[in-house]
Chain A
Amino acid sequence: ETGVTQSPTHLIKTRGQQVTLRCSSQSGHNTVSWYQQALGQGPQFIFQYYREEENGRGNFPPRFSGLQFPNYSSELNVNALELDDSALYLCASSPASGGPNTGELFFGEGSRLTVL
């Protein structure tokens, strides 16, 4: 167990709705990254937050947005949900000692989103 917790674990939304996913990073970690994993695929990088600022973004549209709070927890928001947004959303944190560029990430168990 990594100490990274995500909520909710499962949720169902309908097309056009908005969703907020939450992540509590491991103690001592100041960098949080979000990944989307479609069924049968490897995770895809959405964005990274370091010290409350966005620090890199993957090929995702602006309706995917995020926040990092002073306690380094994070939220992923997705507006105008589409059927293809159905996926496992993974949060990963990394320790301050490694800096934001470390590849040693600690992943949570994910939030499984189904869009109908």
Chain B
Amino acid sequence: DAKTTQPTSMDCAEGRAANLPCNHSTISGNEYVYWYRQIHSQGPQYIIHGLKNNETNEMASLIITEDRKSSTLILPHATLRDTAVYYCIALASNTGKLIFGQGTTLQVKP
């Protein structure tokens, strides 16, 4: 499983876009990029995932570089409720085992 690297923490102003980067330079061809977040004292929540193409859903957008060595999760209009730890995970297609790192603590400020 590829190792992912994320900044430890980030701040974002309420109402602005939050762009969370993730480095996965050793990702292999069959590994998807998954994003989860964990709000304090709750279980992790699935956000989005992708393989090669950019993806968008009602929560966020995922931009994956062409070489697949990095990606960015975009929360288009961050709210205070988006304050959480965000995890970027590289998951091989033949396993359902998520390997969580330390994640990025996103603080959305008024």
Contacts and interface: CB of A to CB of B under 8 A. Distances in A.
Contacts of A41: 102
Interface stretch (A11-19, A63-71, A75-83, A98-106): A98-106
Interface SS of chain B: helix, strand, loop or mixed? loop
A109 B103 CA distance: 19
Interface SS of chain A: helix, strand, loop or mixed? loop
Interface of B: 32, 34, 41-46, 49, 85, 87, 89, 91, 93-103
Given A2-B43, A109-B43, A103 B49 contact: yes
Interface residues of A, number: 29
Contacts of A56: 95-97
Contacts, number: 65
Contact of A42 (B45, B96, B97, B101): B101
Most buried by A among B34, B87, B94, B95: B95
26 contacts: A2-B43, A31-B96, A33-B98, A35-B98, A35-B100, A42-B101, A42-B102, A43-B44, A43-B100, A45-B98, A48-B96, A48-B97, A55-B96, A56-B95, A90-B43, A90-B44, A100-B96, A101-B95, A102-B96, A103-B34, A104-B46, A105-B98, A107-B44, A108-B43, A109-B41, A109-B43
A110 B22 CA distance: 27
A103 B43 contact: no
Contacts of B101: 42
B6 to A, nearest CB: 10
Contact of A105 (B46, B93, B94, B99): B46
A45 B99 contact: yes
B45 A107 contact: yes
A105 B102 CA distance: 19
A73 to B, nearest CB: 17
A106 to B, nearest CB: 7
Interface in A24-61: 31, 33, 35, 41-45, 48, 55-56, 58
Given A42-B87, A105-B98, A110-B43, 7 more contacts: A48-B96, A56-B96, A90-B43, A94-B96, A103-B96, A103-B98, A105-B44
